[in-house]
Structure 1
Amino acid sequence: MRNDIRLHMIGNAHLDPVWLWQWQEGYAEIKATFRSALDRKKEFPDFIFTCAGAAYYEWIEQNAPDMFEEIRGRVREGRWVIVGGWWIQPDCNLPSGESFVRHGLYSQRYFREKLGVTAKVGYNVDSFGHHGMLPQILKKSGMDAYVYMRPGEHEQHMDRSLFRWRSLDGSEVLTFRIPISYNNSTATKLEDKVYGKALEGMALAEQHEHSFMGFYGVGNHGGGPTIANIRSIRKLQAELGSGRFRFSSPNAYFDEMRESGQQFPVYENDLQHHASGCYSTHSESKALNRKAEHRLLAAETFGTLSHLLTGYAYSSEEIQRGWKNVMFNQFHDIMGGCSIREAFTDARESYGESLNIAAVTLNAALQRISWSIDTMKPEIGSLSKDMDWVLWEQKDAGVPVVVFNPLSWEVHTLIQVNKQVTSVSDDQGEVVEHQIVRGSRTNGKDDKYDTAFMARIPAMGYRVYWIYKRKALGAAAAPVHQLTAEPAALENDWHRIEFEPHTGHIRKLYDKKHGVDVLTGSGAVPVVIDEHHCDTWAHGVFEFRNEIARFGDAQVKLLEAGPLRAVMRVTSRYGMSVLRQDFILYRDKPGIEVKAKLDWHEKHKMLKLSFPVRVRDPKATYEIPYGYIERPVNGEEEPGQRWLDVSGEPENGGLQRYGLTLLNDSKYSSDVLGNDLRMTVVRSPIFADHFGERDEYCEYMDQGEQHFRYMLVPHAGDWRDADVSKKACELNVPPIYIVETYHQGTLPQMFEGVRVSAEHVIVTAFKPAEDGDGYILRCYETCGRAGDVRIEIPALDRVWTVQIGKCEIKTFRIPADSDRDVFEVNLIEFSL
C-alpha cells in the first residue's frame, strides 16, 4: 500500500433542477441543499463542499441573500469550491458552439463578480456524452481540467480514468472520469455505502498508481453530504490514515496530479455513447433551442450594427436574460428529452420568452436601420395610401423592401414578400425576375398570393429592393440557368431528381455537372423502426435498425413550376401518420431543399429518412459544436448539429471522391451504416420512462404535427469542397425583410457589415463587450485549414489581420478608442 496515493473525497450534491419534477421544486431543493452544506461546515471544520451551476447561485442570491453572504464567506475560506463555470450542467452534444461559449461567458463573469473566483475545473458529471471540441472551449473559458462520468467503462472503454483530452485545434484539458458514481450509490455489499465505495476507489487508485477522486453525497434531488457520510470518512481516516482519505476538491486533486510529474495518455476524440435515444426525443424543445440560439445571435448582431449606424441603444441585459433561459433549458435532462411532460411545458414557456426578447430587439434594431435609409423619390411629396390598402406606393414609384442578412458572407436566396406585385427591381434600378407563389393566407378572391424573387444580400448587412404593384418594368436579363418540371421530376443545371409515383421515394438523383448517380437505391425513404424495448433514454441501445415498415400510399403532385423555383409535393402514410415533403429545386443555385410536415401518431416507434449514397469506402463526418468529427460507419446512433456528410470513392463519373451532405434545421441525431445515411426525424417513447411498469396512464412523446426542413447537397470532393458549413447556416438563418415607405435618410440602400478574407472562417458573434468598452467579434475556422485572415468592420473603420489555426475559435476585443489596436481575448473576454 503506497502512502503517496490518496483518495480525494469530494463532497458534492448533484442537483437536477428539472427531471422527474419541475423547476420550482428544483429551486426549493437547491436552497435546502445549500443550507445543509453550510450546516455541515459548522459541524465539521475540515469538510469541503463542491458545487457547479451559476444558475443555482443566482437563485440563492435572489431568494436567500443572507445564505448567499454565508456562501461567499465559505468561498473566501476555500471550503466551498466553485467548479463547472457554466450556467448548469448541460447536455454536452446538442447546444451550439456559441451556446457553450455563453455558458462560460455569463457564468465565469458572474462567479468573479459575486464570489471573487472563477471555476478552474469543468464539471459535467451526469451529462450523457461530450463532444470533441470541448477542450478548446473549456480552456478558453478559464478551465484547464474536466470531470465527467458518462459514458462509463461499459459504454466506452478508456485505458485510464485520468487522461489529457485534446481537441482538433490542439487544446488540452486534464480529464478525470468518475469510475463508480457521483453520489453515495455503489455496488458494495457493505452497509456503510460511503465507506465501501471509498475502499473501491482506493483500490482503483492503487491499480492505476496515482491518486483518485471519490465522490460522496446524496444526489439528483439534492441533499449533499450527510452527517453519516462525513463520519464514515473520519472512520476511514482513523483506520487507514488521514493522509490517504482527504476532504478535498477537484481543484486540489488536479493540482496534485500536475505537480506529481506523471505522464498521462492523450485522448483525441469525443466521449460517447450513453443514452443514444436522447438526441431525438422531444422534437419541439430541440427545434425551439435551435431557433432561439440563432435568433438571439441575429438580434445581438443587428442591435450592435443599429447602434453604430443609427445610435439605437438595445438592452444587452435583455439579450443575456434570453440566453439564460436557453442555457437553463440545455440542462441535460431537458435538452435530452428525458424529463416529465410538465417540464417541457415550462421549457416551451421560457423558450418563448427568449424568442420574444430576441424578436423585439431584432425588430427594433432593423426598423431603426430601415427608417434611416434614404428611400425618398423626387416625385413624392408626402405619404398617402390612395393607391393600395397595404402598400404606401404612390405614382407607380415602387415601394422599398429592405432585406437583411445576419450571416458574415453574401447570401443568394429567395425572398417571399407578403404581396402580389407586377415588377421588382434592385437598388440600382435593374429589373429582377420574380415569381408569384401561394401565400399563407386565404383572404378574398385574389389576396392569397405572394411575390418571390432571388436576392443577393451583403454580409451582415442589408440591401433595398423595390416592388411595383402595377408598373411593368420590362423583362429582366436573360437567365443564365434553366429549370424544368415534369409530373414526377424536377431538373435544373445542377441536378435531376425523379420520384416514384406509388411510394414517393426519390427514384433517381443525378448530378449533371459531374455525371454521377448520387444514390445507390431509393432516397428520402421514410423508415419506421420498432423500439418497444427502449426506455426514454434508450439505455443500452446504440443502434436503431429494427425496421418494421416504410411510409407508402404516396401522392406526388407538382405545386410550382418556375421560373425561379419548382416544388414537388410528396405525401405518404403509415398507420395513422402522414408525412408531407415539399422538394424544392431553384433555377439559379444548386442543392435540393425540403420543407417537411409530419403528423405522427405512433408509439414506441422511430422514423428515419434514408439516403444510400453511391460511394465505396464511405466516411461519415458530422458537424459538432464549433467543429466537426469523423465517425465510423457502423450504424451507431450519433449526435450532430446542422450537417452530416457521407463521402467516398464514386462508382461512376470518373472522380476521385464524391459525397452527399444532409443539412437540417432542427434535428440532432443520425446514423450511417456503410453508405446508408439516415437522419432520425422522431422518436415516441413514454415520457420519463426508466424501464418502469407501463400502464394506461403513460403518455407518449411527439404526438401530432411538427415542421422541419432539410437540404441535400451532392458534391464532388469531400464536404469541405461543398462549403457545407455556410450552407447549413443559410438553411437555419433566413434573411429578414421589412416593407418600407418613402423617407429621407442618412444611410445608403446597400450596406456591408463585415468582410472576411478567408472562405473557411465564419463570424458567429458581434456584440458589445461585457464591460462596456468597445465590441467583441468571434469567429471560427470550419475546415481544419490554418492560415491568415483579414477582417474588416466598415462601421467601425477597423481592419486587422490575424493567423487562425486549424479548427480554432478566435475572439477579438475592438476598443471604443480607435487609437487602441484590436486584440485577442479569451471566451470570457479576459485578456490572454
Structure 2
Amino acid sequence: MPDKDNPQPERPWKVFLVGYAHIDSEWLWKVDETIDVCRFTFGNALQLMKKYDFLTFAQGPGFYYELTEEHHPEIFRDIREMVERVQWRVIDGAYIEFDANMPSGESLIRQFLYGISYLEGKFGVRPRTLYLPDSFGFSATLPKILKGMGIENFATSKLDWNDTNTFPYHIFRWRSRSGDEVLAYSTPGSYSDYLSDIKRILWNIEQQREKQDIPVLMQVFGRGDHGGGPEEVEVQNIARWMEEHRGELELIPTGMDEFFDYVRENHLEELPVFEDEIYLEFHRGVFTTGAWVKRLNRLNEWLILQVEKLYSILGVLYGVEYPGETLLRAWKAILLTQGHDALPASITGEVYGDVMRRNFDVYRDLLSLFRKGLKIIAEREGAGYIVFNPNSWPVSPYIRTWENVGGFHQRLGDGSRLIYLRELPPLGFRGCGEVGERPGDSAEVTETEDAFTLENSHLRVTVSRKTGWVTSIYDKRSDREVLREPMRPRIMWDYPMPFRGRFVPASMFDAWEVYYSEGINKHFHRDLRAEKVSLSERGPLYSSVRARFNYRQFRGKASVIELELGLYADKPYLEVKFRAHWNAHHRFLKLLVPVEVESDKAVFEVPYGAIERTDACNAENPQGRAKYEVFGHRWVDISDGNYGVAVINDSKYGFSWCDGTLGVSLLRSPSQPLADFIMRFIGMNKSAQEKFQDVELRKAGRLKKGFINTAIWFMVLFNEFRNRKKVTPIDRGYHVATLWIYPHEGEYTKGNVPMLAAELNTLYIIQRGPGGSSSLWNLVSVEPAEKVQVVAVKPCERGDCLVLRLFNTTAAPIEAALMPNLPLEGVAEATHDERPVTELPADGGSVKVFLGPYGVKTLLLSLKR
C-alpha cells in the first residue's frame, strides 16, 4: 500500500486533466456581476490556451455563452476559434447548471432543448456530457431525460458532502426505472481542485481506489464558484509533471467526453449499476426555503405549458401566429430561476428580490397571453363564455371568478363567485351562453359545541373547535377512517447545530439545511392549537371552516397561520387552504398528516416519474434513515395496495415520512446567507488548497473535526450577531398554498392521483365573450387517459408540425392510443430535441404508441393543410 502521507499508485493510472471553472449564475451576487465573472474567467482561459497549446478547457452551460456573446463579442469570437481547435470543449447541453430535483420533467427537457439548440447553432457541436458539480442531489429519472436528449454521460462533484453515508461508487452506470442508462462519475476531488502539488492527484487516486480499483481518473481543476478557472502555475505544474511522473502516471490534458469514452471502451462491463435517486445527504432544507420562488416556479412552469397548448390550437383552428419569441424569453427566465442556487433559494436577500421580480414578470406576461388567447376563441366562436382545459382528459372543475355569471353559482365570503362546470373536453375548450351548473351533490356543514362537521357524498370531516385540528376524515364510500391521529400544524426549532457535516459543518449553511432533528432542536416542538375556529362558507357548492393559529417567538412579532378546511360538492378530497403571515426565525412549520394505512412505503412524484421511499424512522438501512427530509412534486401517496391516501399540493416540495405520518414542509425561517462571510471562508479554503491543508482536515479525527466545527459554529453565530441588522430571515411575510387530502381505493394509479394533481395545478379561467353561442372542441384524446398524459403541445422547432409529449404515469409498460381531432399527414416518434427517429402508422386516425415504465415519448405530427 502507498504511504499515507505521500500516496503513490501501485500501477500506472490514466489521469484525464480537465480545466474548468464553476460559475454560479446568481448566488451571493446578481446576474449583472456574472457577466463580468464570465469575462475574466473566459479571458483568462483563452490566454492560457494560446500560451499552452496542450491545455484544454471545458465549459457549459449555454447561458454563460449567451451572456458573453451579448456583452463581450470579442471574447465570444475567440471561444469559437478555440472550439474549432478542439482546445475549448463545450459541455452540459443545458441552458443553466440546474437544480435536478424540483423542476418538472418538462422543464428539464426544455433545459436541454434550448441549451443544445443554442450551443449547436453557435459552435456546431452537440455536448455528450452533463456536469452538475454543485447541484444538491439528482432525481432517479434524470438518466431517462438525458438519454432522450442524446446526453450519454453524467458527472458531479457533490456526493462527498454526504453527512451520513459514503456514496458507494465513483464510476458507475446510472439507470432509470425506464431502463435508460448513462455512464456516471462522482469525482473524488472537488470541482475546484488546485493543482499546486502532485499529491492532489495522488490523493484523489487513493480516494477512488478505496471504492473501485479501476485505474482511470478524471481530475477537474480550476478556481470556481465566482469563476476563475485554471491558473498559470497549475498549467506549468502539469507540463512538468507529465515529464517527471512518466511511467507511473499518464497525465492527459483533454475533455470530459474522452474520459467517458475510455471508460466505456475499456471498463464498462465491470461497472456497477445504480438504479435509484442520487440523494444528497446534506442541504435538505433547500426543498422548503424560499417559498415564494418555489410557488412562482410551479405556477410558471405549468402555466407556460397551458399557453403553448392554447396557441397551438389557435394556430390549427384560426391560423393565429404563435408567440414563439415571447415564450422562448419566458422559458429562459424560468430555466434561469431553476439554477442550482436560485430555486433552492440559497441566495442573498438582494438576489432573492431579483429572482422574485423576474418570476412575477413572467407570470404577468403569461397570464396576459393566456387571457388574450381565450378572448380570441370567444370572439371567433361567438360564445358568451369560454373555458379552456389543457389536460388530456375530461375535467369537471370548480372555478372561482370575480365575473358576474348568470348560471348557478355560490357567492363566497370574499365576494368572488364559485361555479361548477361539467365535462370540459380534453385538450380543448367549451363555449356557452352562461356558465354554472348544479352537481349531483351538495357540500354541507353542521356544528356542535365541540366540533364542526363538513360532509358531502364522499367524505365526512370533523374539525375540533378547541384545537382547529382535523380529528377525523371518514371515507363514506369505503366505510373507513383516513386519519390515525389528528391532522395538525407543528412548529419545530430549527437553530443551526455545530457537529453535522463531513468537510464543512452544516452550521455554515442555514439557508440550505434543516436542523430540527438534531441537538437541542429535537426536544422543542409545538403542535399549534387554534385561537379561533369559525365557519367560513356554508354550501351548497363549497363548505369550509377556518382555523386561526398564533405563534409568538420570545419578544418577536407573532406569526399568524390560517387553515381553511373545505369540501366541494361531489369531490372526493378535503381541501386545505394554507395562509400565513410568517414572522418567525429559525423555526420550521409542517402540516402533519398521520394516515390510517398500514404501509412503510410512500410514493413521491418526481420529474417525469415517481419514486418509492421507506419510512425514514423505521428504515432498516442507514441510507433510508438519512432521508428524513426529501423532495417531491405535486403529490405523495401512501397505500397498502388496497387503499391509499394521497396528499396533493400546488407549490410545496419538501416532505418528511416518519412513523406513518407524512409531514408537508410549509415554511422555514433561516437567515439569509452573508455574502462577505461566505466569500472570506471560500478564500480561506482556496488558501488551504494551495498548501494541501484541506486534505489534512479530511484526514482529521473526530475530536479534531468536532473542535473545528464548533469553532466555525461560533464564527457563524458571531457574524450573525455582528450583522444582526442585515440578517433578515428568509420567507418573512405572507404565504399561501393549497393541499388536497385524497383517500382512494387501490394504489395511486388506480386512484387516478396524477390526474387530480394536474387538475389542482391547472389555472382555469372563465373568459367572457361577445355572443351567446355554444361550442365544444378538442385537439386530441389519448387512451388510457387515466394513465397516459399529453404534457406538452407546441409547434416544432424545425419544420411545419406539432410536437406532443406523452408521459406514462405508471410503473408498468403501456400501449397508448392517440386520437387527434385533425387530419394527419404523418406521425413520427422523435428524440426530445425533436429529431425524427421512427415513422408511426396512423390507422383509422388512431396512433399506437408504446411507453415503458414512466416512459416519455415525443411525437411529431404533420398536419394536412
Relative to the length of structure 1, the TM-score reads 0.87
Which structure features the higher share of helix residues? 2
1:659 Cα deviation (Å)?
Answer: 2.1
Q: 2:849 aligns with which of 798, 802, 805?
A: 802
Q: 1:260 aligns with which of 240, 260, 266?
A: 266
Would you say how many aligned residue pairs link Structure 1 and Structure 2?
Answer: 754
User: Tell me, what secondary structure is at the counterpart of 1:404?
Assistant: strand
- Change in CA separation of 1:137 and 1:28 when aligned onto 2, cut-off 3 Å: same
Residue pair 1:9, 1:249 contacting (<8 A) in 2 also: yes
Equivalents in 2 of 1:616, 1:765: separation in Å? 37
Structure 2 equivalent of residue 437 of structure 1: 412
Residue pair 1:528, 1:551 contacting (<8 A) in 2 also: no
Equivalents in 2 of 1:701, 1:752: separation in Å? 44
Aligned pairs (5 A) from 1:503-582: 503-533=467-497, 534=507, 535-539=509-513, 543=517, 547-575=524-552, 576-582=558-564
Task: Please state if 1:300 is matched with 2:308.
Answer: yes
User: Tell me, what secondary structure is at the counterpart of 1:367?
Assistant: helix
How much is the aligned-residue C-alpha RMSD, in angstroms?
A: 2.1
Equivalents in 2 of 1:542, 1:553: separation in Å? 23
Q: 1:179 aligns with which of 182, 188, 192?
A: 188
Structure 1 equivalent of residue 39 of structure 2: 31
1:261 Cα deviation (Å)?
Answer: 4.2
1:754 Cα deviation (Å)?
Answer: 1.8
Residue pair 2:816, 2:849 contacting (<8 A) in 1 also: yes
Kindly provide the amino acid, as one letter, of the partner of residue 787 in structure 2: H
Kindly provide the amino acid, as one letter, of the partner of residue 485 in structure 1: V
Task: Please state if 1:167 is matched with 2:176.
Answer: yes
Structure 2 equivalent of residue 380 of structure 1: none
Q: 1:218 aligns with which of 210, 216, 223?
A: 223
Deviations 1:559-617 (A, max 9, x none): 22211221211112211111111112112121111222111111011100001111223
Q: 2:765 aligns with which of 709, 730, 736?
A: 736
Kindly provide the amino acid, as one letter, of the partner of residue 268 in structure 1: E
Task: Please state if 1:642 is matched with 2:634.
Answer: yes
Kindly provide the amino acid, as one letter, of the partner of residue 624 in structure 1: V
Q: 1:282 aligns with which of 290, 297, 319?
A: 290
- Change in CA separation of 1:413 and 1:164 when aligned onto 2, cut-off 3 Å: same
1:249 Cα deviation (Å)?
Answer: 1.3
- Change in CA separation of 1:480 and 1:356 when aligned onto 2, cut-off 3 Å: closer
- Change in CA separation of 1:167 and 1:456 when aligned onto 2, cut-off 3 Å: same
- Change in CA separation of 1:482 and 1:501 when aligned onto 2, cut-off 3 Å: same
Structure 2 equivalent of residue 389 of structure 1: none
Residue pair 2:378, 2:770 contacting (<8 A) in 1 also: no
Structure 1: any 5+ residue segments left out of the alignment?
Answer: 186-191, 376-399, 425-432, 440-447, 649-655, 819-832
Kindly provide the amino acid, as one letter, of the partner of residue 574 in structure 1: Y
Equivalents in 2 of 1:542, 1:107: separation in Å? 39
Structure 2 equivalent of residue 669 of structure 1: 654
Residue pair 2:286, 2:513 contacting (<8 A) in 1 also: no
1:4 Cα deviation (Å)?
Answer: 5.4
1:59 Cα deviation (Å)?
Answer: 0.9
Relative to the length of structure 2, the TM-score reads 0.84
1:510 Cα deviation (Å)?
Answer: 0.8
Task: Please state if 1:610 is matched with 2:592.
Answer: yes
Kindly provide the amino acid, as one letter, of the partner of residue 749 in structure 2: R
Equivalents in 1 of 2:86, 2:262: separation in Å? 16
1:172 Cα deviation (Å)?
Answer: 0.3
Residue pair 1:435, 1:453 contacting (<8 A) in 2 also: no
Deviations 1:788-827 (A, max 9, x none): 1111221455641111111111001112457xxxxxxxxx
Equivalents in 2 of 1:482, 1:560: separation in Å? 13
Equivalents in 2 of 1:540, 1:348: separation in Å? 23
Q: 1:754 aligns with which of 780, 793, 799?
A: 780
1:541 Cα deviation (Å)?
Answer: 5.2
1:517 Cα deviation (Å)?
Answer: 1.1
Equivalents in 2 of 1:765, 1:337: separation in Å? 27
- Change in CA separation of 1:804 and 1:704 when aligned onto 2, cut-off 3 Å: same
Kindly provide the amino acid, as one letter, of the partner of residue 641 in structure 1: H
Kindly provide the amino acid, as one letter, of the partner of residue 527 in structure 1: I
Q: 2:567 aligns with which of 585, 590, 594?
A: 585
Aligned pairs (5 A) from 1:381-392: none
Kindly provide the amino acid, as one letter, of the partner of residue 762 in structure 2: V
Equivalents in 2 of 1:86, 1:80: separation in Å? 17
Equivalents in 1 of 2:332, 2:512: separation in Å? 29
Q: 2:132 aligns with which of 108, 124, 140?
A: 124
Residue pair 2:442, 2:541 contacting (<8 A) in 1 also: no
Kindly provide the amino acid, as one letter, of the partner of residue 801 in structure 2: G
1:193 Cα deviation (Å)?
Answer: 3.8
Residue pair 1:786, 1:804 contacting (<8 A) in 2 also: yes
Kindly provide the amino acid, as one letter, of the partner of residue 645 in structure 1: D
Kindly provide the amino acid, as one letter, of the partner of residue 634 in structure 2: R
Equivalents in 1 of 2:358, 2:523: separation in Å? 36
1:363 Cα deviation (Å)?
Answer: 2.2
- Change in CA separation of 1:658 and 1:37 when aligned onto 2, cut-off 3 Å: same
Equivalents in 1 of 2:767, 2:803: separation in Å? 27
Kindly provide the amino acid, as one letter, of the partner of residue 604 in structure 1: H
Kindly provide the amino acid, as one letter, of the partner of residue 719 in structure 1: Y
- Change in CA separation of 1:603 and 1:633 when aligned onto 2, cut-off 3 Å: same
User: Tell me, what secondary structure is at the counterpart of 1:455?
Assistant: coil
Aligned pairs (5 A) from 1:467-482: 467=434, 480-482=440-442
Residue pair 1:7, 1:201 contacting (<8 A) in 2 also: no
Deviations 1:736-792 (A, max 9, x none): 210112278xxx611122200112011111000001321111011101121211112
Equivalents in 1 of 2:857, 2:31: separation in Å? 35
User: Tell me, what secondary structure is at the counterpart of 2:805?
Assistant: strand
Residue pair 2:285, 2:514 contacting (<8 A) in 1 also: no
Kindly provide the amino acid, as one letter, of the partner of residue 813 in structure 2: A
1:77 Cα deviation (Å)?
Answer: 1.7
User: Tell me, what secondary structure is at the counterpart of 1:335?
Assistant: coil
Structure 1 equivalent of residue 422 of structure 2: 455
Equivalents in 1 of 2:669, 2:76: separation in Å? 42
- Change in CA separation of 1:451 and 1:145 when aligned onto 2, cut-off 3 Å: closer
- Change in CA separation of 1:206 and 1:523 when aligned onto 2, cut-off 3 Å: closer
Residue pair 1:504, 1:555 contacting (<8 A) in 2 also: yes
Equivalents in 1 of 2:133, 2:565: separation in Å? 43
Equivalents in 2 of 1:670, 1:349: separation in Å? 27
Residue pair 2:382, 2:769 contacting (<8 A) in 1 also: no
Task: Please state if 1:233 is matched with 2:280.
Answer: no
1:17 Cα deviation (Å)?
Answer: 1.9
Structure 2: any 5+ residue segments left out of the alignment?
Answer: 1-8, 498-506, 553-557, 618-627, 679-712, 825-844
Equivalents in 2 of 1:587, 1:195: separation in Å? 71
Structure 1 equivalent of residue 702 of structure 2: none
Equivalents in 2 of 1:519, 1:480: separation in Å? 27
1:309 Cα deviation (Å)?
Answer: 1.1
1:532 Cα deviation (Å)?
Answer: 4.1
1:519 Cα deviation (Å)?
Answer: 0.9
Residue pair 2:487, 2:594 contacting (<8 A) in 1 also: yes
Residue pair 1:780, 1:809 contacting (<8 A) in 2 also: yes
Task: Please state if 1:790 is matched with 2:817.
Answer: yes
Deviations 1:25-74 (A, max 9, x none): 11111111011110011111100000111000011111122221211121
Structure 1 equivalent of residue 455 of structure 2: 491
Residue pair 1:302, 1:362 contacting (<8 A) in 2 also: yes
User: Tell me, what secondary structure is at the counterpart of 2:474?
Assistant: strand
Kindly provide the amino acid, as one letter, of the partner of residue 353 in structure 2: T
Aligned pairs (5 A) from 1:394-405: 400-405=384-389
Equivalents in 1 of 2:190, 2:92: separation in Å? 17
Aligned pairs (5 A) from 1:141-152: 141-152=149-160
Residue pair 1:581, 1:595 contacting (<8 A) in 2 also: yes
Equivalents in 2 of 1:752, 1:806: separation in Å? 27
Equivalents in 2 of 1:410, 1:239: separation in Å? 71
User: Tell me, what secondary structure is at the counterpart of 1:457?
Assistant: coil
